[in-house]
Amino acid sequence: MRPPIVEEGNAMRVKFGDCLIELVQGDITLQQVDAIVNAANSQLAGGGGVDGAIHRAAGPSVMEETDRRYPEGCPTGSAVASAAGHLPAKYIFHAVGPVWRGGTSGEPGHLRGACQRCLELAVEHECESIAFPAISTGVYGYPMDLAAQQSLECVRDFLQTHQQPKLVRFVLFSGGAFGAFARVLESMTDSH
């Protein structure tokens, strides 16, 4: 049976069992969810893009915590958790996506791995809701449509197996990113 699709403005929701995948256009630092995902680097050294925005909004306690708990950083294709400082969320999951090198250097597996580890961390930390940015699609150069495919397939497969977290939201910064994710999510509902 096709799951219901609800679209209003730049928001789209699709139910998978008891769980919801939601796409919105906006800023991830403002999300009222249990956990937000950061697009970090493997040194957890901070940077620009969404990483810079999250650390600026959360305050210095987050970098202090990641420096203390993860002095070795985090490998590409995985993620580590911290508290969320001044943000409305309880946790930040710092995910390290791959740098795009043409697609034949294991990029899809690494993007999926980072995404899946965030979902596992959400379950381990009893998060009912989590918000992702479009990991790797900025400085790391992953093509938006291919990133949307990997990320959404990862979430759909995880929800079908685990039935949690109850809400997985992708917060897309631009209309173009929103459109790319919406096209992929819509195509998934056809084959569901």
Give yes or no: 157 in active site. Answer: no
To the nearest whole angstrom, how small is the minimum distance from the Cβ of residue 147 to ligand APR? 8
- Of positions 140, 158, 170, 181, contacts ligand APR by CB under 6 A: 140
| Torsional sign, CA 125, 131, 135, 139 | negative
* 73 sits near ligand APR (criterion: CB under 6 A): no
Interface with ligand APR (CB under 6 A), residue total 26
Q: Kindly calculate the radius of gyration of the chain based on its CA atoms and give it in whole angstroms.
A: 15
* Site for ligand APR contains 50 (CB under 6 A): yes
Binding mask 76-105 for ligand APR (x = CB under 6 A): ---------------------x--------
Range in contact with ligand APR (rule: CB under 6 A) among 13-21, 59-67, 135-143, 154-162:
135-143
Order of strands across the sheet with 19-25?
A: 5-7, 11-16, 19-25, 167-172, 129-132, 35-40, 91-96, 79-83
Between CA 181 and CA 186 the distance in angstroms is 8
Q: How far is CA 175 from the centre of its chain?
A: 17
Which two tokens mark 94? 């710092």
Q: Are strands 5-7 and 11-16 parallel, antiparallel or unpaired?
A: antiparallel
Q: Which stretch binds ligand APR (CB under 6 A): 8-16, 78-86, 117-125, 137-145?
A: 137-145
Site residues (CB under 6 A) for ligand APR? 27-29, 39-41, 46-53, 97, 133-140, 171, 173, 177
Q: What residues are labeled active site?
A: 51
